[in-house]
Chains A and B, each alone.
Chain A
């Protein structure tokens, strides 16, 4: 087992309104080496918070994230400060994820030299190699980020993450900010890199069609909890949770042109994380809710060896 997320909670108190944002509410997940876990969910589901916790930018309010049986984060102090985290992050916005005053070659070189990952004389060739791996030619290494396209910047971000030789790469909406014709390129690159280097990914997105394309296992999140977990084809072919079903139905499908299906599978909107409904957080929008759903939080229970659902109406 590579990474174990065990019953993690994250709460952000808001001082002015004396409320609490419940970003994560008891989430448990495992990521094994060489596997790609896809996390899909809409705004407020806590997917980006989870990414920040894993890389150590923040600490969980409760619960533990362990890395090969060592407690990675606990309490208020984060033990990875000034150390290279074994999980690296690729951000959504290619415009703010690179230092605008640092040439891209220097951006990669700094990772290697700051942590003495290579001998001095090998650093140059390593930088060139990393850029080449992500499809950036060597003669671009003296450019500044603003001289690169969005797709190229995202490639540099990926190279920077690779330079740290991480155990896990977290991709937080890595293609959402890119133009459609460039997205495919970056997705293909991610798939190629995984094959070539045996990388482990946590791929986070609101876009199920992207998550579906790259993930081995998909976790569907809703308001800080996992509501369904399974291999990618199980989740897509045989979704069990009513929220997963709605999410799949909501993807615009361009393979079938014609009159739109006007039936809306899911009414209402995601409640605010400051005020999460009691019981199953989804019951207020759920088409199959029964009175009991507002009383108990359903646990993620297996329905098959590889697929689990958190719904008391599905798992009976």
Chain B
């Protein structure tokens, strides 16, 4: 018997999906290199003698005004950005999806509370809200993550609740109720698999936004504090130098771009691969 293809096979059929996955994997690998202290230089070590060198054999991405290695700082910044993105999106997914699914499925007053609360959060511009929360929480990477998580939770509430509301009205859910299935079974086996795809896609996309938000916060002087490296902070610090040391601005910016594009491509690829109807045409 021919083995049924699973979604991984379908994912691997899409060129853009593979490109995205490769880009993201490269960035994760680089972060891990930094996490294990295997970077070519210490990202915090200052070498005033080597300040503002262009890319060369020793300093692949050049150095900044303190003579710190931009490559090592970039991958360390990537590590920090990815950590913040993963933690914040993880928290937002956990809370947002739970609230959205429960609200959408149960309806009534629970749903009302969930929707009103998320509307209030939505009403604030994301970056302003994150700024305010970071200000009151503190500047550690966990504080930053919690702030971003709070900002993103309503997005996940919406992403989960919308499909739950429409799936709930489908005849196959009515049929499941007539067949006497328990609510946990209906939720777990009939509703969740049908709202799973948009959530996974949203996770991939939100990771890329979270990286941008973290960069934005660092750029504005919140979040990661000097001398620690963060991609956003590096871009912020490099602004004044860009005119005569392009590399100090270019490489952190390129890293942000690569990881954001990569995550977006992964999100698109997952959306196609997870939908049985969409993949049947290929």
A residues adjacent to B (C-beta < 8 A): 52, 55-57, 80-85, 87-89, 91, 93, 96-102, 110-111, 114-115, 142, 144, 146-147, 157, 160, 164
Q: Among the listed A88, A114, A147, which residue makes an inter-chain contact with B181, where contact means beta carbons less than 8 Å apart?
A: A114
Contact present for A100 and B276 (CB under 8 Å): yes
Q: With contacts A93-B171, A96-B171 known, what are 5 further pairs, Cβ within 8 A?
A: A88-B179, A97-B171, A99-B194, A101-B194, A142-B4
Least Cβ distance of B253 to chain A in Å?
40
Chain B residue with minimal CB distance to A164? B179
Is there an interface contact between B194 and A100, defined as CB atoms closer than 8 Å? Answer: yes
A93 and B170 alpha carbons, distance in the complex (Å): 10
Assembled-state Cα–Cα distance A32/B174 (Å) = 25
Contact B276 A96 (CB under 8 A): no
Write out, one digit per residue, whether chain B residues 123-155 have a CB within 8 A of any chain A CB (1) or not (0): 000000000000000000000000000000000
Do residues B277 and A100 form an inter-chain contact, with CB atoms below 8 A? Answer: yes
CA distance A97 to B175 in the complex (A): 7
Nearest-Cβ distance from residue B278 to partner chain A, whole angstroms: 9
Interface assignment of B178: CB less than 8 Å from any CB of chain A? yes
With a cutoff of 8 Å between Cβ atoms, the chain B residues found around residue A52 in the complex are 174
Give the chain B neighbours of A142 by CB distance below 8 A: 4
B193 at the interface (CB under 8 A from A): yes
B residues 161-175 with Cβ under 8 Å of A?
170-172, 174-175
Shortest CB distance B193–A (Å): 4
CB of B175 within 8 A of CB of A91, answer yes
Chain A neighbourhood of B6, CB < 8 A: none
Contacts of A160 in B (CB 8 A): 175, 179
**Residues of A with C-beta under 8 A to B171:** 91, 93, 96-97
**A81 CA to B4 CA in the complex, in Å?**
35
**Residues of B contacting A157 with CB < 8 Å?**
175
Q: Is B56 part of the contact surface with A, judged by Cβ < 8 Å?
A: no
CB contacts (< 8 Å) of A84 on chain B: these are 179-180
Contact between chains at A115 and B177 (CB < 8 Å): no
Given A101-B194, A142-B4, also A57-B277 (CB < 8 A) = no
Interface of A is mostly: loop
Size range of the chain B interface in the assembly: 20 to 34
Contacts known (A96-B171, A98-B172); A56 close to B178, Cβ less than 8 A:
yes
A142 to B277, CA, bound (A): 15
Beyond A114-B185, A146-B277, is A96–B172 a contact (Cβ under 8 Å)? Answer: yes
Q: Report how far A180 CA is from B280 CA in the complex, Å.
A: 26
- Flag B87-114 by CB within 8 Å of A: 1 or 0 each: 0000000000000000000000000000
Give every chain B residue within 8 A of A146 (Cβ-Cβ).
Answer: 276-277, 280
Chain A residues whose C-beta falls within 8 Å of the C-beta of B185 in the assembled complex: 114
**Is the Cβ of A82 less than 8 Å from the Cβ of B180?**
yes
Least CB separation from B176: chain A residue: A99
What string of 1s and 0s marks CB contacts (under 8 Å) between B263-282 and chain A? 00000000000001100100
Residues of chain B within 8 A of A97, CB atoms compared: 170-172, 175
Residue of A nearest to B280 (CB): A146
For B181, the chain A residues whose CB sits under 8 A away are: 82, 110, 114
Bound complex: CA A238 to CA B170 (Å) = 40
When distances are taken between beta carbons in the complex, the residues of chain A under 8 Å from B193 are 99, 101-102
Complex Cα distance, B175 from A88, in Å, reads 8
Residue of A nearest to B3 (CB): A142
A91 touches which one: B4, B174, B177 (CB < 8 A)? B174
The answer to whether residues A110 and B189 also contact, given A97-B171, A98-B172, A144-B276 and a CB cut-off of 8 A, is yes
Provide the residues of chain B in CB contact with A144, threshold 8 Å.
Answer: 276, 280
Q: A89-B175, A96-B170, A110-B189 are in contact. Are A101 and B180 (CB under 8 A)?
A: no
Pairwise interchain contact B190-A85, C-beta atoms closer than 8 A: no
Distance in Å from the Cβ of B175 to the closest Cβ of chain A? 6
B142 CB to closest chain A CB (Å) equals 36
Closest beta carbon of chain A to B186's beta carbon, Å: 10
In the complex, what residues of A have CB within 8 A of residue B194's CB?
Answer: 99-101
Q: Are B178's CB and A88's CB within 8 A?
A: yes
- Rank and list the top 8 A-B pairs by shortest CB-CB distance, nearest first: A97-B171, A84-B180, A91-B171, A101-B193, A146-B277, A55-B178, A99-B172, A96-B171
Q: Which residue of A lies closest to B192 (CB)?
A: A101
Bound together, the chains give a CA A251 to CA B276 distance in angstroms of 40
A114 pairs with B179, CB closer than 8 A:
yes
Task: Across the interface, name the chain B residue whose C-beta is closest to A98.
Answer: B172
A146 to B186, CA, bound (A): 20
Cross-chain contact A83 with B170 (CB below 8 angstroms) = no
If the complex has contacts A96-B170, A98-B172, are A89 and B276 also in contact, measured as CB distance less than 8 A? no
Indicate which residue in B182, B276, B280 contacts A82 across the interface (CB closer than 8 Å): B182
Determine the chain B residues whose CB is within 8 A of the CB of A81 once the complex forms: 177, 180
**Bound CA span A115–B4, Å:** 28
CA distance A14 to B113 in the complex (A): 22
Residues of A within 8 A of B276 (CB): 100-101, 144, 146
Per the bound structure, the CA–CA distance linking A164 and B181 in Å amounts to 12
Decide yes or no: A99 and B178 within 8 Å by CB, A114-B185, A146-B276, A146-B280 being known contacts: no
11 contacts between A and B (CB under 8 A): A81-B177, A82-B180, A85-B180, A88-B178, A97-B170, A97-B171, A110-B181, A114-B180, A142-B4, A146-B276, A157-B175
Which of A83, A89, A91, A147 has a CB less than 8 Å from the CB of B180?
A83
